[in-house]
Structure 1
Amino acid sequence: MELRIFTEPQQGASYDQLLAVARRAEETGFGAFFRSDHYLKMGSVTGEPGPTDAWTTLAGLARDTTRIRLGTLMTAATFRLPGPLAITVAQVDQMSGGRVELGIGTGWYAEEHTAYGIPFPPLAERFDRLEEQLAVITGLWETPVGATFDFPGKYYPVSDSPALPKPTQQPRPPILLGGTGPRRTPRLAARYADEFNLPFASVEDSAAQFQRVRNACGEIDRDPSTMVWSNALVLCCGRDEAEVARRAAAIGREPAELRENGLAGTPAEIVEKLGRYAAIGSNRVYLQVLDLADLDHLELVAAEVMGQL
């Protein structure tokens, strides 16, 4: 199982703080640095110094890191038009030497849309738009150089596009889709996703949703083994109970609740719970790190958890 670092900068983080976490993750051997794509804080935190744009951040990290993979959990399809998003991601992929992955979803946080003047259609339309975005983005990337791309979309019609620039990764960067939707989510994942991710889901709920996606793969004759299966879970690891409690308090949570709903406890407890996710087919776990100043947290997991996987 691969471990990746996942951050929530809308809760309050500067680029320099994110860079410090990304570099420490790279130095200690984590597989990737991912960030959320949100423009408004959640909960009671102040959110200062304010939001940072996900793809601006990843462009900077593409030049300020050398090996670690970079991506989003998840870019909101409501934030960007598919053509410009395809250009942006391709450019960042070039800037990183082919280390970028695109996680994309419908968008769900209504308040951030009203806070920054972004249209927020009903859920059914957001799914329709996401499906068209996936068709346009993959179509642009996969069109051979010298050919043009057309798409007769309802929301995003494309005509005679040169389909440039091309990403470094060929035929395209990996695409991540995820979520708990029982019907459209599995169908979209089976068609477009290189990786299916479930955020903050129990082992039992993960197994059920993974099976729905496997069934959707079967409906289009796709081999489910061609997809990476992953989870995202909040991290709170400590060498002893006092350290677990200190780290839980730093993010405003309780150790017992985190043990139930996240990855919390000693390294041995973390390894045991990761084993339960591995048993249902999870290949990769994104560790949601909420205290970005606590770089020793990453050191501990790298030293005492990663080697046991």
Structure 2
Amino acid sequence: MRIGLQVPSFTFPGGPEQIAPVFGRMAREADQAGLHSFWVMDHFFQIRGVGPSEEPMLEGYSALAYAAALTEQITLGTMVTGVTYRHPGILVKTVTTLDVLSGGRAWLGIGAAWNEEESRGLGVRFPPVAERFERLEETLRIAHRMWKGDESAFEGEHYALERPLNSPPALRTPHPPILIGGGGEKKTLRFVAEYADACNLFDGDDLPRKLDVLRGHCERAGRDYAEIEKTSLSLFTGEPSVDEAVETIGRLAERGIDHAIFSQGTGQDLAGVLAEALPQVEKIVPAGR
């Protein structure tokens, strides 16, 4: 069972001057604790449910590059990049750069995007949902092509790349794992089956059904369901105990989750709690494995 930590907020005591030292300490503690993954949201405004738009929000890949320089083992990714934020060729170069500089520890976390407020605020076009999914599928095809070293021209409905050169190549083989975030049953989970190495779903009552839907898409695509890493995102209210963390991780494993990611709450010592829980859960074998 793999354990990850997500940092969704940079509103730390002491103001902006404390963002770098506090965030850096979180990354180092997660790494030294032996956690598998470290994540930031790829947003430009703070999102509803976490805080008001005006709260501090770091650009995701710059933050991960900073974390990469301070860590040694933990894998690094966004939870998740909205497909409309960056041109696909540039996105693949960005993730490849993170992978090379981190020694092969990058993920490509990606989704269809949802936060229209930040797009409108910063002047980024926010297409209708159908077009966003079309762009997501083209981006996934481009990522696979570039990470295979295929420089032949790509001509899609929304993107045209004359020579998708990607040098240096990523260090992770066969490529940085592609994680698609979201539980949409018709398109998102189908794209997971067809293009991704991992999915990310919210920890909730509908989790078993979402995994069943993914299993069906894998059968139709001729994909081995077991090949896909099933990740979930959970949030503890208040300060969690080690026992609570162990119980939650065990429950997720019983549902078939391979990689439990926990979102850092305000004032929580979540890395410390997860570090204490790790010896009890790292040998848990998720259902279906």
Whether TM exceeds 0.5 here: the answer is yes
Structure 1's 161 and 267: CA in aligned 2 closer, same or farther, altered over 3 A? closer
Q: RMSD of the alignment, in Å? A: 2.0
CA radius of gyration, larger in: 1
1:73 to 57, 71, 79: 79
Say whether the 8 Å CA contact 1:11–1:47 is kept in structure 2.
no
**Matches of 2:185 and 2:51, distance apart in 1:** 32
Alignment of 1:266 with 2:241, yes or no, is yes
Alignment of 1:90 with 2:91, yes or no, is no
| Contiguous gaps of at least 5 residues in structure 2 | 282-289
After superposition, the C-alpha distances for 1:20-42 in whole angstroms (9 at most, x for unaligned) are: 11001111111111111011123
Say whether the 8 Å CA contact 2:45–2:54 is kept in structure 1.
no
Say whether the 8 Å CA contact 2:138–2:156 is kept in structure 1.
yes
**Corresponding position of 2:261:** 286
Offset, 1:46? 5.3
3-state SS of paired residue (2:206): helix
**Matches of 2:235 and 2:184, distance apart in 1:** 21
**Corresponding position of 1:275:** 250
Structure 1's 15 and 116: CA in aligned 2 closer, same or farther, altered over 3 A? farther
After superposition, the C-alpha distances for 1:98-131 in whole angstroms (9 at most, x for unaligned) are: 0011110011011111111111111111000111
**Corresponding position of 2:273:** 300
1:178 to 178, 181, 197: 181
3-state SS of paired residue (1:177): strand
Say whether the 8 Å CA contact 2:245–2:273 is kept in structure 1.
no
**Corresponding position of 2:231:** 230
**Corresponding position of 1:18:** 23
**Matches of 2:208 and 2:214, distance apart in 1:** 10
Q: Percent of aligned positions with the same letter in both sequences?
A: 31
Say whether the 8 Å CA contact 1:63–1:96 is kept in structure 2.
yes
Q: Which amino acid aligns with 2:110?
A: I
Offset, 1:180? 1.7
**Corresponding position of 2:165:** 162
**Matches of 1:174 and 1:139, distance apart in 2:** 14
Structure 1's 198 and 49: CA in aligned 2 closer, same or farther, altered over 3 A? closer
**Corresponding position of 1:126:** 132
**Corresponding position of 1:209:** 210
Say whether the 8 Å CA contact 2:46–2:52 is kept in structure 1.
yes
Q: Which amino acid aligns with 1:286?
A: I
1:42 to 34, 37, 47: 47
**Matches of 1:84 and 1:90, distance apart in 2:** 10
Q: Which amino acid aligns with 2:249?
A: L
TM-score (norm 1): 0.83
**Matches of 2:183 and 2:257, distance apart in 1:** 15
Structure 1's 299 and 269: CA in aligned 2 closer, same or farther, altered over 3 A? closer
| Contiguous gaps of at least 5 residues in structure 1 | 237-243, 248-264
Say whether the 8 Å CA contact 1:176–1:193 is kept in structure 2.
yes
Offset, 1:11? 5.7
**Matches of 1:10 and 1:179, distance apart in 2:** 23
